[in-house]
């Protein structure tokens, strides 16, 4: 398996006024896996997404100097798609998930299998950086000019949500609204809950990759329900379990080959696994 693959962003990254959808993603180096394992619990999900993508994204369009600011500028759906591409590169196509039926009279644990391909959407047909729509609320027409939520918006709202959920939701929405006016062309400050919901729905419609909703049927009670798939949460748990083994791998290879931790973590997971297999084969011959 190649350490770097080309992928397509569903929405696209704007660089110098041009939208680019081609991105290059690589395997997460061992030392970065250890880094995320050691301090990952101190990250909010949006911050964790920025940190891991900054370490595995090799380029977008003409840009090879990918930094956290560029990662934060990506829309939520593109960040979600990149996490799924990274997951497939590191762990493969199949994803085993454990869910609990939300029906109070059931509550059974369900095992389902997903695939990364089924969760990665095709590129969107529209490549507009800014969007405009008219919404009807309270007997009035509201013209709204907005952009899609980005990683920066997610991080800012997540931090505020720790102390005030409503303020975080308001900040998240307002940071994406560029202009809002009523039918008389006058700008407005107050956004009603219904209008806020309509604008949020429009954003989700334009960036469907940002919210992966699974429609499920419980095999025990036949109840139907839907849930949002948390890509960052799923991948972070997988990496945490994998990272727990990194130190054992380093310990075993270091004892046998006398290499430094930096040298061992610089190896790809596949090469580390090959050296561990050779060590095990030698032990069996003794």
Alpha carbons 30 and 260: distance in angstroms, whole number: 13
Check residue 140 and give its pLDDT: 86
**Where would I find the H helices in the chain?**
30-39, 45-56, 68-73, 76-91, 116-119, 151-161, 165-174, 193-206, 231-257, 261-265, 269-285
Mean pLDDT along residues 44-51: 91
> By CB neighbour count within 10 A (0-12 exposed, 13-18 middle, 19+ buried), where does 14 fall?
middle
Do residues 137 and 192 make contact, with C-beta atoms less than 8 angstroms apart?
yes
- Does 63 have pLDDT greater than 50? yes
pLDDT in tens, 162-176: 899 999 999 999 999
- Does 204 have pLDDT greater than 50? yes
Mean pLDDT along residues 185-191: 66
Alpha carbons 274 and 61: distance in angstroms, whole number: 34
Alpha carbons 175 and 212: distance in angstroms, whole number: 22
Mean pLDDT along residues 11-15: 93
Do residues 146 and 130 make contact, with C-beta atoms less than 8 angstroms apart?
yes
Check residue 1 and give its pLDDT: 42
Alpha carbons 94 and 114: distance in angstroms, whole number: 6
φ/ψ (deg, to 5) at 5:
-135, 155
pLDDT in tens, 238-250: 887 777 677 788 8
Q: Is the dihedral of CA 229, 235, 236, 237 positive or negative?
A: positive
Do residues 158 and 147 make contact, with C-beta atoms less than 8 angstroms apart?
no
Cα distances from 252 to residues 192, 239, 240, in angstroms, run: 61, 20, 19
| Residue % of the chain over a pLDDT of 90 | 57
Do residues 217 and 103 make contact, with C-beta atoms less than 8 angstroms apart?
no
Residue 93 DSSP code = S
Which two structure tokens, joined as six digits, stand for 16? 């110098």
Do residues 220 and 108 make contact, with C-beta atoms less than 8 angstroms apart?
yes
């Amino acid at each position: 398996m190649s350490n770097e693959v080309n992928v397509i962003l569903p929405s696209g990254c704007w660089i110098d006024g041009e939208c680019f959808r081609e991105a290059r993603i690589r395997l997460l180096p061992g030392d970065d896996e250890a880094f995320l394992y050691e301090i990952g619990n101190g990250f909010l999900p949006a911050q964790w997404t920025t940190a891991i993508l900054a370490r595995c994204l090799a380029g977008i369009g003409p840009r090879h100097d990918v930094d956290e600011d560029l990662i934060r500028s990506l829309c939520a759906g593109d960040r979600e798609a990149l996490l799924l591409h990274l997951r497939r590169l590191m762990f493969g196509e199949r994803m085993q998930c454990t869910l609990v039926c939300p029906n109070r009279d059931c509550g059974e644990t369900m095992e389902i299998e997903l695939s990364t391909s089924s969760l990665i959407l095709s590129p969107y047909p529209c490549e507009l950086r800014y969007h405009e729509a008219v919404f009807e609320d309270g007997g009035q027409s509201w013209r709204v000019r907005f952009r899609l939520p980005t990683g920066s918006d997610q991080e800012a709202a997540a931090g505020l949500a720790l102390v005030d959920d409503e303020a975080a939701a308001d900040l998240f929405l307002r940071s994406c609204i560029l202009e809002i006016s009523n039918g008389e062309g006058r700008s407005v400050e107050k956004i009603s809950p219904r209008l806020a919901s309509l604008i949020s729905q429009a954003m989700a419609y334009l960036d469907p990759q940002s919210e992966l909703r699974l429609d499920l049927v419980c095999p025990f009670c036949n109840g139907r329900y839907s849930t949002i798939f948390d890509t960052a949460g799923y991948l972070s748990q997988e990496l945490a379990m994998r990272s727990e083994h990194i130190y054992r791998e380093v310990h075993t290879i270091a004892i046998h080959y006398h290499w430094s931790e930096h040298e061992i973590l610089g190896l790809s997971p596949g090469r580390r696994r090959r050296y561990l297999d050779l060590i095990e084969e030698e032990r069996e011959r003794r």
